[in-house]
Structure 1
Amino acid sequence: MIQRQHSLALGIGFGAAAGAAWGLVFLAPELVREFSPLQLSAARYLAYGLVALALIAPRWRTLAPRLGRPEWWALLRLSLLGNILYYVLLASAVQLGGMAMTSLVIGFLPVAVTLIGSRGQGAVPLRRLALTLALGIAGIFCVAWQSLGMPSDAPVSDRLTGFLCALGALAAWTAYAVGNSRWLVRLDHVSSHDWSLLTGVVTGGLALLLAVPAFLGSSLNDHTDAQWWRFIGVAASMAVVASILGNAFWNRASRLLPLTMIGQMILFETLFALLYGFLWEARWPTALEALAMVLVSASVLAGISAHQPAPEHGN
C-alpha cells in the first residue's frame, strides 16, 4: 500500500508539471498573432523534432532494433493526433475564439478520457468517479458561463469557427491520450522518455511536410525582424518546455497512474492555461472563474480519493 501511495503521489506531481508546461501553448498564439496557426505549429514541431533527434542520437543504435512496424505506425498516428492536428486546431481556436473559450472546451478532456478509461480492465468503476466528473463539469460550466456572457467584438462566424476548432482539438487529444497511455503500458522494452523523444522525431518529420504549405508564398518582408525573432523564440520555447519536458513528465505520469486518473491530471493544463491567461491580461479572475478553479481542483482531489485503496478492517 505504501508503494502504491508513493507511486500515486509521484504520478500526480509529474501530471501537474506536465500541465504547467502544456498550459503555455494556449498563450503562444496570442504572443505571435501576426503568424498563422499552421506556421506556428510547423515551427514549433520542427524545433521539437531537431531537439528530440539530438537527444536520442547517442542511443539510436541500441534503440532502433527494439522498434518494429507496429511501434512506428503507432508513433505516426500519435504524433499526428496529439501534436500536429491538435495544435493547429488549438491555435486556430485561440486566435478566433480566445483563450477562455479554448481552455473551457479543452477542459472537457478529463471527462472524455475518464469515460473511455473507465471501460478498461482494472479501472475504477464509473460510479466511484461520479463526484469527480460532476465537479469537473460544474467547473467547466462556470468558465463557459463567464466566457459566453462576456461582450465580444469578434464576428459570430469567427467565434463559431473557433469553437468548432476547439472541439476538433478536444477529439484529437482524447484519442492521443488514450492511445499513448495504452502503448506505454505495452512498451516494457522502451522507456517513457525515449518514447517521448521518438514521438518528437516523427512529429518533426511531419512538421517538415507541414512547413511547405504553411510558409509557401510567405516572405521575410511580410513581418518585421522583431516579429520574426519573437516567433522563433516562442516556437523554440514551446519545443523545449511544452514538447520535450511536458511530454516527458506526462509519459512518466502515464506509467505511474491508471488511465482514469490520468484523465484527472489533464485538469492541471486547464488551470495553468487560465492562470497564464489572467497574467497576460493583467487581471484577477472573476468570481465565476475563481469558483471554476476551485471546482476543478476539487475534481482532481476527488479523483485521487477514488483511486485510494479501501482501508483494511481488523477483527
Structure 2
Amino acid sequence: MFLGLLFALTAGLMWGLVFVAPVMLPGYAPALLTVGRYLAFGLIAVPLGLALDRRALRELRPADWVEAAKLSLVGNFLYYLCLSAAIQRAGAPLPTMIIGTLPVVIAVCANHRNRVRDGQLPWLRLAPSLALIAAGLAFVNRDELQVLQAQAGDLRRYAEGAMLAIAAVACWTWYPIRNADWLRAHTDRSPRAWATAQGLVTLPMALLGAVLLAIVQVALPGALVPAGYAFPLGERPLAYVGLMAAIGLCSSWLGTLCWNEASQRLPTSLTGQLIVFETLAALAYAFMWHQRLPPPATVAGIALLVAGVSWALRIRPERPPAHAGH
C-alpha cells in the first residue's frame, strides 16, 4: 500500500508537468504539443527498450502488443484529441470542470467493476472521500466555474464541447481500468517494460500524426496551427524540442512506469482517486511558474483534496461473498 501510494504520487508529479507546457510555450498549438510529446515518448522508448527491457519486451505476445496499442490510442491520442476539440468548441472552463470529475468517476466505476478481483471499498465509507475530492475540485476550479457562468455563448457549441469533454472522460476512465486489468493479470511482468511497450507502439501513431499535421498545414493554413507559425518547430525550436523531450521522458515514460507500479499494487478504485496528485502538482507548478501564491479558494480546495485522499487511504477493501462473482 505504501509503495503504491509513493508510485502514484510520483506519477502525479510527472503528469503535472504537462499542464504547464502550454504556459511555457504559449505560441504553440495543442496539436503541436500533442504530436511533439508523443513523438518524443516513442523515440525515447526505443533506446530505453533496447538498453533496459529487451528481454522482457521479447516475452510479450502479439495480443499484449495489441493491448498496448489500444491503451496508447485511447489513453493518449483519442483522449487528448477529444479534450483539445472540446476546448476549441466551448472554451477552457467547461471542459476543465468536466475533466475534473475523473478521480470520482474512475473510483466509482472501478469500485463496482472490480469488486470481485480487488474487493470492494464499502460505499458508505467511500462516500465521504469522494465528496471531499469533489468539493476540493470545485474549489480548485472556482475561477473556471465563474467564467463559465459569466459567458453567454452559442449553446450548440457548448453542447458539442460538453459531449467531447465527456468522451475524453470516458477515454481516461477506460484507460486506467483496462491498464490495471493487464497489470493485475500479469503480475510476473515488469511495469517498466509495459510502459516502454506503450511508448514503442505510440511512435508510429505519433509519426502518422505529424504527417497529417503537415498535410493539414499545407492544405488549410491556420486550421490547427496559428497563422504565421514557423512550421514545424516554431520561433523557439530549442525550447520546444527540449521541453517535449523532458515531457516525453518524465511525464510519458516515467509517469506511465510509476502509474503501472501503483496499478499493480493498489485497488483500481483507490488509484482512481489518487489522480488528484496530478491536479495538485499541476497547480503547484503553475503557481511557481507565475511566482505567486494561490488564492484562498484554491488553498481550501487543496486541503479538501488532501483530506479526501487521506480518508480513502484508511479504507480497506472488503471481499464479497463467493456467489457475488457469478
TM > 0.5 between the two? yes
Cα shift readout 1:153-189 (whole Å, capped 9, x = no counterpart)? 9884587766555433322111101100111001134
Task: Note if 1:295 corresponds to 2:304.
Answer: yes
Task: Note if 1:23 corresponds to 2:16.
Answer: yes
Percent of residue pairs bearing the same amino acid type: 34
Of 42-51 and 102-111, deviating more is: 102-111
**1:273 alignment partner, one of 259, 282, 290:** 282
Q: TM-score, normalised by structure 2?
A: 0.82
Report matched runs for 1:120-135 at 5 Å.
Answer: 120=114, 121=116, 122-135=119-132
The answer to whether the 8 A contact 2:56-2:190 is kept is: no
Q: Structure 2: which amino acid aligns with 1:22?
A: W
CA distance 1:236–1:273, change in 2 (3 Å):
same
Following superposition, the deviation at residue 206 of structure 1 comes to 1.0
**1:286 alignment partner, one of 295, 306, 312:** 295
Name the structure 1 match of 2:241: 232
The answer to whether the 8 A contact 2:71-2:179 is kept is: yes
CA distance 1:240–1:65, change in 2 (3 Å):
closer
Report matched runs for 1:92-111 at 5 Å.
Answer: 97-98=91-92, 104-111=97-104
Separation (CA, whole Å) in 1 of partners of 2:99 and 2:178: 18
Following superposition, the deviation at residue 14 of structure 1 comes to 1.0
Name the structure 2 match of 1:313: none
Separation (CA, whole Å) in 2 of partners of 1:184 and 1:55: 20
Corresponding residue SS for 1:34: coil
Corresponding residue SS for 2:314: helix
Gaps of 5+ in 2: 219-227, 319-326
Separation (CA, whole Å) in 1 of partners of 2:87 and 2:237: 20
Name the structure 2 match of 1:169: 168
Name the structure 2 match of 1:83: 76
Separation (CA, whole Å) in 2 of partners of 1:42 and 1:210: 6
Separation (CA, whole Å) in 1 of partners of 2:87 and 2:242: 19
The answer to whether the 8 A contact 1:261-1:307 is kept is: no
Q: Structure 2: which amino acid aligns with 1:269?
A: E
Q: TM-score, normalised by structure 1?
A: 0.84
Separation (CA, whole Å) in 1 of partners of 2:54 and 2:11: 29
Following superposition, the deviation at residue 201 of structure 1 comes to 0.5
Name the structure 1 match of 2:229: 222
Name the structure 1 match of 2:322: none
Cα shift readout 1:69-114 (whole Å, capped 9, x = no counterpart)? 321221111001111122334455678744x765543331111111
Q: Structure 1: which amino acid aligns with 2:206?
A: A
**1:258 alignment partner, one of 267, 273, 278:** 267
Separation (CA, whole Å) in 2 of partners of 1:23 and 1:156: 30
Separation (CA, whole Å) in 2 of partners of 1:63 and 1:77: 20
